Structure 1
Amino acid sequence: MACRGARYHHDGVQYGGAAFCNLFLSEDRGLDLHFPSLGHRIPLTRGTAVIFDTGQPHGVIQRGSSGFNAADFAPDQDCIQLFLTWELPIEDTHVGHALKVAFDIDPSTSLQLDAEQIRLNGEPAIVCPDSGRWCRVD
């Protein structure tokens, strides 16, 4: 896959039963993989491997910036990151145990849903694409 920066998002609805594993192939372009809820910034350099929860808000932003800004990724800038990605099935007990993943499932709510979703304090939530903060669904 390739990215030219990435607005903040989560992949929990599409890939809720998996963790992502990304292996970055490009040289350092001054970009970080940022997990704002966790306070983690990972410099993206050749050989960096990251395994993470698909429900965790994340984005690819300029190193030193405080959030995503499309102007940081102008067409004339060489900021493309190439990476390999694959899914690890955390519902498999061996994978879940190795990654120390415990699902936080609300059985009474999940039985009423027709699709996977991310909830925060019992309410559906989305991610602000510029800051990575959780927001309530209006």
Structure 2
Amino acid sequence: MLSIEFESARFLPYLPESSQANPGAYGFELALWLSQALMRAGIATSYPLGEDWGWFIEYLAGEAEFMIGCGSRADTGEGYTGKPIAWHIFIKQQLSLRQRLTGGAAPEVVATLSQAIQAALAAEGIVPIVEQAA
């Protein structure tokens, strides 16, 4: 799994805290923007889908399926405060049982997605920290 982290006020939620899926679980605006930015780079993803922890978009490359998660690491207390939020994007391949048994991972696709995401963030003046998790 590849992790991309940064702080920014660029993707702040525009709906009030009471309208969020879970308090402090932001990411819809980031996921929507990322889906559009990747499309401009020729990478078509799904629309954002919600989870308890945030939002994600899906990308298919042949038989390989990838989840690009977008969430926040905000200590919101009583709701969004207007300060920049620590954002977290991750790229994770969803391996089928057959792929797990045959070693069917596609690290080159993760690298391509990571480069496209970093380029889109750089165009917004955002310099992320990128880490490869074991």
**TM-score of the pair, normalised by structure 2:** 0.28
Hey, which of these two has a bigger chunk of helix by percent?
Answer: 2
**TM-score of the pair, normalised by structure 1:** 0.27
- Larger C-alpha radius of gyration, 1 or 2? 1
Hey, which of these two has a bigger chunk of strand by percent?
Answer: 1
